[in-house]
Structure formats: C-alpha cells, structure tokens
C-alpha cells in the first residue's frame, strides 16, 4: 500500500480482471493462507489492520481489505481467496429486523445513527435522572463535532468517592456494535436497579462513564455515504491526502502515545493503521486522553467489533506488572464465560 499511482493501476486491474463495478468503498473480505506468527507480523508491517482478522480451523486468515488491496496482496505474493467481494452489501443483506426484546434499535442496520444515539442518551437521562447524567461534551473532532460522555451511577451529577470505570465505543467508525452494546448495558443497569443485586451494587458503589462514539466524524461519514449501513470508514476524517474515501484519516487506535509508531501501525497516511504525524496528533484521541487524566479510572474498556476476542495490555508483546496481569486474566475469564472469546494480549 505504498503509492497512489500503483494503487490506481491496481484498481483498474481489479476492475478489469473481476469485472466489478467500481464504487467508492468496495471492501472485500479475503482469506489469506499464511504461517503464524511470521505471516501476521508481515501483514501488520505492510499496514493491514490484522486485529480485524481471524483464523479459521484450517489456519486461513480472514481479513477485511479495500477491494484495491486484493490485487495488491496477490502481487505481493500472498495466497489470497476472496470470501466476500462486497462487505457493505453483505452486511446490508445479512441484517435481520428487530430481535424481539425491549430494546429500541436504530435505523442503520439496527445501529443508531449519531442523531439517534444522542437522542437515546437524552431519553435515558430523562427517564432515569437518578442514574444517568445528562451528556457532556469532552472535546471536539476534526470536523468540529462534539464528543459526548455520560455517567451512570447513583447521584450521577455528583462526583462521589467511588471507583470509576470508563467504557468507550466506535474508536473505529465501522464497528458500531461496540456502541450498541454499551447502550444495552446502560439500559440493563437502569432496568435492573433496585431489583437485581449486582446491577444495583454497580450503580450504588461505582461510577461508570461512557463515551459511546469516540470517532464521531468517521461514523457520520459512514452513515452519510452508506445510509443503508455497512460503511467501512475506520479512521477519523483528517485529510491525509488520500482522496475523499475511506483511505483518508488517522487510525485513532494507533494515535495514543504508548509505543506510538511501533509494530502494527503504519507511517503511510493512506493505510488503515496510519498512526498520525505524532502521538496524540488527533483531537479525538486527545479528548479521550484528557478525559482519562481528569478522572481516576480503575479500568478502561474500549469496545471494538471485530475478531471476537478480549485483548488486554500490552500490544507490544510485553506483559503488565503483577498484580495487573492476573487481574486482567481474571476479569477476562469472567467476561467471556458466555461468549467463550479467547482472552490474552494482542500477541497471544
């Protein structure tokens, strides 16, 4: 993923060879035959977002990539099969209408649009004023949209002397399930308060903060360009000189300062894992940083929606000092009792 000219030629090639109609964001899911861990490390070094991929039982690695990258992967010598030629269409066709439970779904394949998410925050605060604080802006995005946070606790507008936890969603704009999951959790606390002992304890004795949409601009891009859902913008919307499509932007999940620029991130502005010009170069990552620094969080959970895994620190292959590592493993085991997701560091 290095040069525009090469990419343009490859796009033409892809279109010619596969007879595909060229759309702005023809993301595909490919299956790559590779040897672990060398193959993964090489893919990551080439700028592919390997945490979005997963292995099947035969050891093939499945990954979403721009359509233009398919021919490129082949040219780079990878053994590639196209599982799904157009992920956006795939997501749209796969959607089934409202599961029958008392949880209001949104208009974007069931996910909330930005406007619907804000209305949901407001209605929760209105309906449960003793548990949910009004939303508060913690900063502004590149395109000058507010980034919103709210708190769930008893006496939600007071800063009580209780342990604090932060939950975030949609750092990557194409992973709205992380945001929906948080609203579901909040609703569950509100409805179970006073009857469910564990949820009541959580609200009484903890302060739970939520930033459901970190990457507001990327999400608005997806809902604007693909109002039927399935938009594939991942990064924020900083103009990094890659045209108006999904190649534009900085990967906010590579823009934090810990091991900034390390393996698994890219210095090329059009790659999906572009880390930005410096750590915290982006207003969205700065807003999250400043919010964390202004609080005393015991734990922070960033919800993504790829891979079906629970990843704890650190991403560079090292382990957190004890007792943190054991704590992470214990929390991880408890969190995955039902879904059986693998738990570990990114390398594991």
Q: Judged by CB under 5 A, which stretch of 71-79, 109-117, 142-150, 171-179 contacts Zn ion?
A: 171-179
Report the 10 Å Cβ neighbour count for 123.
Answer: 12
For 61, phi and psi rounded to 5 degrees? -105, 125
Based on CB atoms, which residue is closest to Zn ion, 151 or 304? 304
Q: Please report how close the Cβ of residue 171 comes to Zn ion at its closest, in angstroms.
A: 6
Mask of contacts with Zn ion, 176-195, x by CB under 5 A? --------------------
Residue 254 interacting with Zn ion (CB under 5 A): no
Close Cβ partners of 54 (under 8 Å, ≥ 6 residues apart)? 61, 62, 306, 307, 308, 309
Q: Please report how close the Cβ of residue 304 comes to Zn ion at its closest, in angstroms.
A: 3
SS3 302: strand
| Dihedral over alpha carbons 130, 135, 136, 142 (to 10 degrees) | 160
Q: Please report how close the Cβ of residue 168 comes to Zn ion at its closest, in angstroms.
A: 11
**Cα–Cα distance for residue pair 68/248, rounded to 1 Å:** 15
Based on CB atoms, which residue is closest to Zn ion, 238 or 304? 304
Residue 172 interacting with Zn ion (CB under 5 A): yes
**Cα–Cα distance for residue pair 38/78, rounded to 1 Å:** 13
Tell me how many residues contact Zn ion (CB under 5 A): 3
Q: Please report how close the Cβ of residue 174 comes to Zn ion at its closest, in angstroms.
A: 8
| Dihedral over alpha carbons 131, 150, 301, 112 (to 10 degrees) | 100
**Cα–Cα distance for residue pair 170/56, rounded to 1 Å:** 26
Q: Please report how close the Cβ of residue 260 comes to Zn ion at its closest, in angstroms.
A: 17
Based on CB atoms, which residue is closest to Zn ion, 46 or 175? 175
Based on CB atoms, which residue is closest to Zn ion, 53 or 139? 53
Q: Judged by CB under 5 A, which stretch of 96-104, 172-180, 220-228, 310-318 contacts Zn ion?
A: 172-180
Query: Segment 285-304, which members bind Zn ion (CB under 5 A)?
Result: 304
Q: Give me the residue label for tokens 């579901």.
A: 184
Q: Please report how close the Cβ of residue 306 comes to Zn ion at its closest, in angstroms.
A: 6
Based on CB atoms, which residue is closest to Zn ion, 175 or 207? 175
Considering only CA atoms, give the Rg of the chain: 20
Q: Which structure tokens are listed for 318?
A: 């090292």
Based on CB atoms, which residue is closest to Zn ion, 28 or 125? 28
Q: Please report how close the Cβ of residue 313 comes to Zn ion at its closest, in angstroms.
A: 16
**Cα–Cα distance for residue pair 60/31, rounded to 1 Å:** 6
Report cis status (omega within 30 of 0) of the bond before 314: yes
Mask of contacts with Zn ion, 326-345, x by CB under 5 A? --------------------
Q: Give me the residue label for tokens 């620029």.
A: 261
SS3 111: strand
Based on CB atoms, which residue is closest to Zn ion, 172 or 235? 172
Based on CB atoms, which residue is closest to Zn ion, 71 or 305? 305
Chain residues in the site for Zn ion (CB under 5 A): 172, 175, 304
């Amino acid at each position: 993923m290095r040069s525009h000219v090469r990419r343009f030629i490859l796009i033409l090639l892809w279109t010619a060879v596969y007879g595909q109609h060229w759309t702005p964001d023809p993301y595909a899911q490919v299956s790559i035959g590779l040897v672990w861990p060398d193959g993964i490390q090489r893919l990551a070094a080439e700028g592919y977002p390997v945490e979005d991929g997963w292995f099947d039982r035969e050891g093939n690695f499945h990954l979403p990539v721009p359509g233009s990258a398919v021919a490129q992967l082949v040219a780079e010598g990878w053994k590639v099969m196209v599982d799904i030629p157009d992920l956006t269409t795939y997501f749209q066709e796969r959607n089934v209408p409202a599961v029958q439970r008392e949880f209001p779904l949104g208009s974007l394949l069931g996910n909330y649009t930005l406007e619907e998410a804000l209305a949901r925050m407001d209605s929760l605060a209105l309906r449960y004023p003793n548990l949910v604080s009004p939303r508060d802006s913690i900063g502004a995005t590149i395109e000058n949209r507010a980034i919103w946070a709210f708190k769930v606790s008893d006496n939600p507008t007071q800063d009580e002397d209780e342990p604090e936890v932060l939950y975030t969603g949609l750092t990557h704009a194409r992973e709205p399930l992380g945001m929906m999951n948080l609203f579901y959790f909040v609703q569950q606390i509100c409805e179970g308060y006073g009857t469910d002992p564990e949820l009541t304890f959580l609200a009484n004795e903890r302060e739970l903060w939520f930033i459901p949409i970190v990457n507001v601009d990327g999400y608005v891009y997806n809902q604007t360009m693909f109002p039927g859902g399935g938009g594939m913008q991942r990064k924020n919307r900083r103009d990094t000189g890659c045209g108006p499509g999904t190649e534009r932007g900085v990967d906010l999940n590579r823009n934090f300062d810990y091991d900034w620029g390390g393996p698994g991130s890219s210095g090329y502005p059009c790659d999906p894992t572009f880390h930005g010009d410096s750590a915290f170069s982006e207003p969205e990552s700065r807003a999250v940083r400043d919010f964390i620094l202004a609080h005393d969080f015991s734990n922070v959970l960033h919800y993504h929606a790829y891979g079906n895994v629970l990843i704890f620190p650190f991403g560079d292959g090292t382990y957190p000092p004890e007792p943190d590592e054991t704590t992470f493993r214990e929390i991880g085991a408890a969190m995955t009792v039902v879904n059986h997701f693998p738990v570990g560091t990114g390398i594991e």
